[in-house]
Chain A
Amino acid sequence: MAKTDALQGSLDLLVLKILSRRPRLHGYAIMAAVASTSGDVLRAEEGSLYPALHRMEEAGWIRAEWIKKDSGRRARVYELTAAGKKQLGVEESRWQSVSLAINRVLREA
């Protein structure tokens, strides 16, 4: 089965959800977390992950910080802000209603 790229709308939701469970992750870790928690079904492409992260940072949902890694290199880690938690609620309920609607269509069509 082909690995589905996360839909544009749902990438924000996935990132926010993952950050809400495990704060202070860098980009690669978020990508890995999307893959592992979805059982390798979903995959966040690098090409959309970083613009999404930066967009959400500008929107004030997540906050970034540079940390020093053991290798001596710096990594940029992200965590949820208060606005981000609120946004997560909004995104979750929207996803619920969308998936409910799609399920209904699938059942009745």
Chain B
Amino acid sequence: MSLWSRILNAVQGERLNREIDEELQSHIEEAIASGRDPDEARRTFGSILRQREASHSIRVAGWLESLLADVRFGWRQLCRNKVTSVAAVLSLALGIGSCVAAFRLIDALLWRPLPISNSSNLYVLSHKMTGFDGKPLEDDHWATPEFNLMRNAVKDQADLIAISEADRMDITWSTDDDVEKAHVVYVSGNMFPLFGLEPALGRLFVAADDRAPGAAPYAVLSWDYWNHRFGRDPHVLGRLLHIGDQNFQIIGVGPRDFTGVEKGTVTDIFLPLSMNTLAAQDRADWHRVFLMLKPGVNPTTALEPLRQHLSAVNHTFGSACSTCFRGETQADIDRYLNQKLVFYSAGAGISALQKEYRRLLVVLGLLAALVLFIACVNVGNMMTAQAAARAQEMALRISIGAGRRRLVQLILAQSALLALLASVLGALFAAWSAPFVLGLINPPDNPARLALSADWRVLLFGFGLIILVVLLLGLLPALRASAVRPVAALKGGEDPYSPRRLMRGAIALQVAFCFLTLFLSSLFVASFQRLQNRPLGFSTDRLLLLETVAGKGQTSVVWNQTAEALRAAPGVDSVAISGWPLLGRIRINSDISINGAPPSPTPAFFLNISPGWLPTMKIPLDSGRDFGPQDTSPGAAIVSETFVKTYFPGQDPIGRTFSRGANQPLNTIVGVTPDVPDHDLREPNLAVFYVPFNEVDDKSVPKTVDFATFVIHTDTRNPLALTDSLRQLIAQRHNGLRVSNVTTQLELVRDQTVRERLIAMLAAFFAAVALLLAGIGLYAVLNYSVLQRRREIGIRMAMGSPRASIVRVVTLDVFLMIALGGCTGVALGFGAARYVESLFYQVKATDAGMIALPACAILLTALVATLPAVLRALRTDPTEILRAE
């Protein structure tokens, strides 16, 4: 209570003084009223001012009052230099905002624990092995029968949970026509209870839902999906959901904040593991396995025995497979089966997005931190200059009795004011930029989604950042100011070089960081450009892709008839069919066996194509011919140049044969095409072969096809304009074919470079900001230095020093600092580049161009920034200066 009143009094200092005065005044009046002589009463009372001071200091919190005075004084200092203050606040705000935004993204994707109970006890199982090609492999997918074996083996100490990756599937809610996409995840029935999750509506899965394959046709919606798809309608319970030929009944809605364990993807629908047909297959590795320690089990001692136990189960399961390793030598099989099981902590979720974007986000954080640091150095320099200009004031304060602590407080108050103003703007910037950057991760039709809540973690980080900034900004100038020797300063003889030495060191640091930022961003931008400009070997112009499914499968005859119908549609130029699009999400490899030999160690990738697909994609033939309607698979094949180099080096491949594995039917090569990137732009060209879309079994009976892609070359510049009419055209044929996804070949190519585009864009942004800030900083320091040395310059001029030597005097040490900073930057850059090498495409940190570009940019900026100060130095009028001194 008393402290509070003292704090209140400190804020209302003037009012308190008035009250004290009034009380003392009333005392004197009382004395006069009781008959004392007015003059005598006043005289005995003594100095009212002194009494007031004594009472005042009792009744206020002195520290707070002095702090308030300092803040007010700091505010006036900032207002006095409006332009520099605004620049300082803006640059700090940009730095703080970028750092907080980067932290929000990194925290949300990589660090924040899942909203489940005991998240710290959750691990994901993975196994490391040596593949049959001799290369190390790591995989975290498991077959359901093996999962069940492992689950039983460790059931006393831990629970195993199976969770599949989120799959973007076609689902329907009523009729067959309105197909939608939803992220579907299959989970074992124990997941919800073990995660301690409660339904928002209905019930969640329980262990009993796992019991028999196909026995639990139920679905649980995530709260998020329930909210945006059904507007939180409670009558959703009991509705039927159709996926393929299966029906599921909605039995419940999950808790509000649980969106699955896959960070970056929001699960829409949970289905029981037992409802997936893969669950019944002996050797289909299709879901992840998580391990949750039982309560009270100590992770440090229990994990290793658990791991060994599970390894043994894994080995037994692996060696029991009689059909898995046909055609491999016993040594290779033993090497493959010698697998190492590993646990990874999964409390923060597990996802491909984490793996793919971890380094990118770290780089982003680093760039943001560098920009903040450069901004801090800038503002710190500004404050050092101001503090140096105030050396006389400080000296005066000390000589009339101000404590050194008070002086430090005075300057820290000013930097705290700057930091607080900047952090308010920075918070706004972060609130906007974090979701913006998140929106650029992943292709637009399937954006990454993360919960970017601004909770105590973010607040704590922001608060820590502000403290750091205040210290960075204020501590040095504050300590300098408090070390002022009053005698020297008041005489005007304080060493004029010391603040400049400090500021020059800061310039070297700034240039180093600026160089690092520029260097990294030029590497990223070059990577992006090279990736984007990689020759494709096919045309993306006006190509519409209709990814189409046939629920129960249709023969290629039906598919070809549909293609024929599409060909007749207005606006359509040509139509072809392929199994899946180039550079899409699907790729399948195949063994290649030549002359009945065992399959070669390197597999090839294949694609089923209809006649006319090559011309539609504008892929030329090097030799041979395109497929005709008579060609079937197996039977004919067209191969890529790399395929020829790999399997038929130095031979003419036309007419030669290969089979897809030992004892498989032969395919005769009828044509050769140039290489095209089939799946990933970043990969070197791989061996690819094309087989006819018409597939037949060993009795020459046509096989049915579940899904394929119509590749349509259109007349219009915007192929997507035809989407609705073509989709309807296919639906009207009522032959079981249904369009599941529409895209263009151009979009697929663009989606390939999403990550590179993002990092290049952000890095270029940070580089521009860093360069601008470094330029401003350089200008300010040099300008200040010229002002400080105008007496020296005046004397030099008066003594007849030539202009060139004046310029040298002014700029020499600055350019030395730039050179020093640049060298440090190169060293830092090489170190950093090694860490992010995996994000580069055909770019090396040691390329001369990569170093020359940032160096030139910095040099140019330095020249521009130093020009005004040099001109000012040259315009110095010696007579005026010397007279003034």
Contacts and interface: CB of A to CB of B under 8 A. Distances in A.
A28 B27 contact: yes
Given A50-B51, A58-B6, A58-B59, A75 B26 contact: yes
A71 B32 CA distance: 13
B59 A28 contact: no
B58 interface: yes
Majority secondary structure, A binding face: helix
Contact of B2 (A27, A59, A71, A76): A59
Nearest to A69: B26
A69 B50 CA distance: 26
A9 interface: no
Interface of A: 26-29, 32, 46-47, 50-51, 54-55, 57-60, 69, 71, 73-76
A15 B267 CA distance: 75
B561 interface: no
A51 B54 contact: yes
A101 to B, nearest CB: 30
B22 A74 contact: yes
Contact of B23 (A32, A50, A55): A50
B27 A27 contact: yes
Contacts of A46: 24, 27, 44-46, 51
Interface string B245-282: 00000000000000000000000000000000000000
Contacts of B22: 74, 76
Contacts of B27: 26-28, 46, 50
Interface string B36-64: 00000000111000110011001100000
Contacts, number: 64
Majority secondary structure, B binding face: helix
Contact of B30 (A28, A47, A50, A54): A28
A47 B58 contact: no
Nearest to B53: A51
B1 interface: yes
Nearest to B50: A47
Nearest to A47: B46
Contact of B58 (A26, A27, A58): A58
List 10 A-B pairs, minimum CB-CB distance, nearest first: A28-B30, A51-B54, A76-B23, A54-B55, A54-B58, A28-B27, A46-B45, A75-B26, A27-B27, A55-B58
A98 B139 CA distance: 87
A71 B23 CA distance: 14
Contacts of A75: 23, 26, 30
B34 interface: yes
A59 B23 CA distance: 19
Contacts of B46: 46-47
A53 to B, nearest CB: 8
A48 B713 CA distance: 100
B573 interface: no
A55 B518 CA distance: 62
16 contacts: A27-B23, A28-B26, A32-B34, A46-B24, A46-B45, A47-B46, A50-B27, A51-B55, A54-B55, A60-B2, A69-B26, A71-B29, A74-B26, A75-B23, A76-B22, A76-B23
Contacts of A50: 20, 23-24, 27, 51, 54-55
Given A58-B58, A60-B1, A73-B26, A28 B51 contact: no
Contacts of B31: 28
B30 A26 contact: yes
B5 interface: yes
Interface in B54-98: 54-55, 58-59
